[in-house]
Every structure is written in C-alpha cells, then in structure tokens.
Amino acid sequence: MQTLRAQTSIQQYQNIKFSQVEINDKFWRPKIEKISTVTIPVCIDQTEVKTPRIRNFEIAAGKRKGKFEGIFYDASDVFKALEAIAYSLKNHPDPILEKKADDWIDLIAGAQQKDGYINTYYTLQFPEKRWTDMSMHEDYNGGHLIEAAVAYFDATGKRKLLDVAIKFADHFASLFGPAKQHWVTGHQELELALVKLFVTTKNDKYLKLADWLLSERGHKNAKGYTWTDWKDTAYAQDIKPVKEQKEITGHAVRAMYMYTGAADVAALTGDKGYVKAMEDVWEDVVYRNMYITGGIGSAGRNEGFSTDYDLPNESAYCETCASVGMVLWNQRMGMLTGDSKYIDVLERSLYNGALDGISLEGSQFFYGNPLASIGRNARRDWFGTACCPANIARLIASLGNYIYGSNNNEVYVNLFVGSKTSIPIGKQQVPVVMKTNYPWDGNVQLTLSPVKKTNFNLHIRIPGWANGEAVPGGLYRFADTSVTPFIVKLNGKEVPYKREKGYIVLQKEWKQGDVVELTLPMDIKRVISRPEVTENVERVALQRGPLVYCIESTDNNGKAWNLILPANTNLTAVEKTVLSEPVISIQGPTPQLTVSSDGTNITTENKQMVAIPYYTWANRQKSEMQVWLPTKIKDVKVNR
C-alpha cells in the first residue's frame, strides 16, 4: 500500500525506538529496573486484586459471573499497565510477567464483541447506549488499547492484542468519519493512537481517521456531555478548530494528548496548518503557562489551565499525566521541526514534573505535584482515578524512545543517558555508545563505530540552560547572565562545529572508534520569574543542570518556610543521599528566623540550607517544602 508518509512527511528525523536502545547508566537504569520489579507488580496487584478492573474483563469474557464495578474509564489503566509491561519485557525479560500479560490479553480478546467493540462499562451495563455520549471515554479507552497493542507487538512480536486493536479501530471507522456520524472525542487519546497504528500497519485509513477526528473539533458537533464542565467547550479544546487555535485552554492532559496527535498528523501528512497551530499553542504554554518544573495545569477545578501567568505554588495542580503529556508532545515537536527548544522543555518536564510523580522506591505516587507544601502532602499507594501510576511507569520504561534520532544522513543526540544503540545511516548501521554521569555532572562521551567509513552529520543538543537560557520565551531567566562555555572535543582535540537550531553539528567522514566528548557547565543557577507571576516576586529558585531544586524541612531543622536566600549567599554542590538515592544537593549558609516559645521574639541565625532535587521530595515523611525561596524577610512565613 502506498502511504501518506512516503509521499508527504515533513518530519526532520525519527526517534530510535526504545527496543533498539540499551540504557545502562547509574541514574536511569535503576529507575527502569524498579519499574519492572516494583512499580509494575504494584500496578498488577491494584488492577487484578485490589480493584475490579480485571474482574470486569473476566465477566465480559464469560469467565465469571458478576456486574461491572468501578469507573467507566478504568479499563484504560489495564491497557496502560500492559504498555508498561511491554516496555519492561524488552528492558528486563521475564517469562512470568509475559505470561501474566498474555493472560490479560486473552481476557481482553474474550471481552471484545463480534463487531469489534470493546468497553466493559457499556458491555456489562448499557449495551444499547454505546457511542451515545462523547464524554464517556469509549474512544479514550480504545486509544490506550491501541497504544498497548502496538507496544506489545514491538516488544514481543505477538499480534493477538494488535489484532484486537485493529478490529476495534475498524469498528470505530465503520461508524465515524466523513459522510458518517460526527464524533468529538471527550478525552483525546485516540488521535495519537491511530497514528501509531498507521505506522505499524501502514494502513492509511488510520492516519486519515486521526486527521478527521482533529477536524471535528470547534464546529459545535459535541453532544451527550454529562458533566457540567463540558458546557464550556474550551475545557475540551473544542472552542475553535484545531488549525485555528493559538491559546492553551481547558484540561491539561486532554490538551497534551490532542496536540501530540496533531503534531503526529502534521509530520506525516505535511499539513502546515497543524504545524502553525502547534507552534502558536506551544508558545502560549511555555511562554506564559508552564511551571519551572515543566509542569502544566495550575488549576484543580478543571485539572488544567486558567489565565496567563496564573502559576500558584502551594495550590499548583500540575498533574503527573500532564507532565508525561509534555514529554510526548515536545518529542513530536522536536522531530517535526528539528529544533532543540522542544527537547529542552521535554527534558525539564521529564527530570522534574514527571519524575516527581513516582517515589524513589517506585511504589507510591503523586497525582498532583505542587511547588510548595506546609507538610500535608504525601505520596499515595493508588488513586480512585488511577491514570498516573501506569502513565509514569510506561514513560520511564520507554525512556529509550527519547534519546536518539536519525534520518538518512543525520544522527541526533537529544538526551544524555548512558546507553548503547545502533543507528541506520544509508545502508549501514552505526553503533553508538554514550557514557555519562548526567545529570550529576556534565561530561558526555560518545563513541561512534561505523563498520565502514561514512559521511553523516552528528547533531548534539546543547541545552538552553548551558547557553544561559532558563526556558524558551523568558518566562523564567537566570539572575546571573554569565555563561560558562561548554567544550567539544573529537578524539581528544577541540573541534570546529556549526550551530543549528540549538544543536552543534559535526560534519565529517566518521570511522570506527571516533570519540566525541562534550563537557557541559554544571553551575548552580538562581532563577527568577517574569513579574507577572506574582507569587514569585522577590523569590528565586535553584537549578543545576536540568534539575530544579527545593528545600524540604527534613533537611533544614524541621522548617522550610523560615529562611531567606540573599543574593550573596555562597552556594556549593555537595554529594548526599535521599533514602538510597545518591544525589547532588545544593548547600549554603542562609539567615533563618525562629520565634521564641512565648511568641514575643524573633531571632535570626545563619544556618546551613540544604536543597535537594525536586523529584526526590516527600520520600521520607510528610514535610514542608518550597521551590521558590524568598530573598527578603517580608516574605518569610515563620509559623506555617
């Protein structure tokens, strides 16, 4: 079949798939192992034993008697867990886990109706109401089914779940599309999943269907919404057609999934209307509506966006799934445009907003990720709406998807993760080995070993923070504008290079054993906000490399709200452990205020401040925490 991709793709490069990348560094490898050995077993236990998710499939498949229990979107958590299992099996082969996945897949296949429909909520309760209410996540569940099926097929070569997904997609396509029924997806997800199905099957029908779903928005075709919020079409990004959208609105996770799908469709169809809209909306997110952690969606009432620069810290919603969505969307925008600014934002969200969503032990989770706490926040074993645990699990397990990219004669290095891969250039594979202790230091070594000498361009991302830019667009900036130069060497000698869209580009005939060394400055940086972010006026945050830092009362004499960080404080990087996690902390003497026992006196004393990476907080006990630290005494809150 002749595909649209072959004719019109404008994607600048493709990612190297996770299944082709072996991660072996000291930062990410243990986390990937914990996903396999801790997080996935937790998801299985919650999905199979402690909640009725798998029981619903057993009933629908005729394996037991009973009635539906739970929430109408619970099946999506089964599919996300299966997707995480697929990635895990490639990283950490486990025949027992694979058998468990195959058993689940048998149940899912058994629950599918003859016409391809699959949804335990409707099948077991309201079969006559199928596809009557656009808000009820039938398509969202189906999208996660497709993503799980593609991942499991990629990891194992087994097609049973893929065949279920194809049958579901064909069922949907028989009902909806041009000259058929309208359908505005209540919770976007199916759009990006259909693109994945297209890439796997090479069937243009799925790409065209994804494009059609995007075109349905903004024309008042939505109906059947049962939630009050749906009366506000901005909540579901339905206020304007996608190609006319310029501002971020509504539910953050839904937005990220939709814009990821739109970027995918743009890349594969060459539709410049989507490209322009994605660039405009991205600027609105990053320039006016993103936290320093890369988190998005400040408001809990709609789990999403409010007004520009409304970025409160203590009440920040910042759903973990939204940060996962930022990783997905920015990856697609990077591949679409070849511009590293998108990977800069991806990295910020990955190392801070998303990674904060899972505990260091891999067994507890955050749904929301505030940037300040008076000690009431704690990670939880599970949630009634349990989208985040499996979502962060599948992201970390699939980290290999985000490190490298390539096209015919270009190699892209996007993230600095110790790893091995083999990248196709022309008619040969080029083995690549990356060694690094990133993010704790900035030394990166790349060894390239083509079997035969070959010409290609090596693009290595230089993070914006290494060039003196805190974030694209200036929502946050470094207080100190001086920049320590980075260093690039080829086979031990400094080498000339070009600069292109945030990458350095080395052009040469590469031979076996060529070694490129990159040294990035790991200076401690003070970050300040635009004045429109009123909560951060006369406050600073700390960043080192890609990591945002916070202070936690556990490390600071039981208090996190009583100190000042003057501009002249000498800050140093100090090795530390948080539980069993080796980290680099930031330490320095700061004025700290204490109220006397009778409440009549305030004293100030210089004590050592200890700041830890934001992703590590709330792992030891309930504690006070702040990311944005006051620089003047009037902003200190001694008795929080």
What is the set of active-site residues? 303, 387
Contacts of 227 (CB under 8 A, 6+ apart): 135
| 495-to-404, 509, 518 alpha-carbon distances in Å | 22, 14, 11
| Three state DSSP letters for 69-88 | CCCCCCHHHHHHHHHHHHHH
DSSP, collapsed to helix, strand or coil, labels residue 507 as strand
DSSP, collapsed to helix, strand or coil, labels residue 96 as helix
322 is written with which tokens?
A: 């939204």
Residue 629's DSSP bridge partners are 540
Measured at the alpha carbon of residue 613, what is the angle toward residues 607 and 615, in degrees to the nearest 5?
135
DSSP, collapsed to helix, strand or coil, labels residue 640 as coil
| 387-to-45, 145, 311, 566 alpha-carbon distances in Å | 15, 14, 23, 41
Phi, psi at residue 164, to the nearest 5°?
A: -60, -45
What is the DSSP secondary-structure string of 244-262? G--S--SBHHHHHHHHHHH
The whole-angstrom separation of Cα 297 and Cα 404 is 29
Nearest CA to 148 out of 131, 128, 129, 168 is that of 168
265 is written with which tokens?
A: 């469709």
184 is written with which tokens?
A: 């505005």
Cβ atoms 141, 185 nearer than 8 A: no
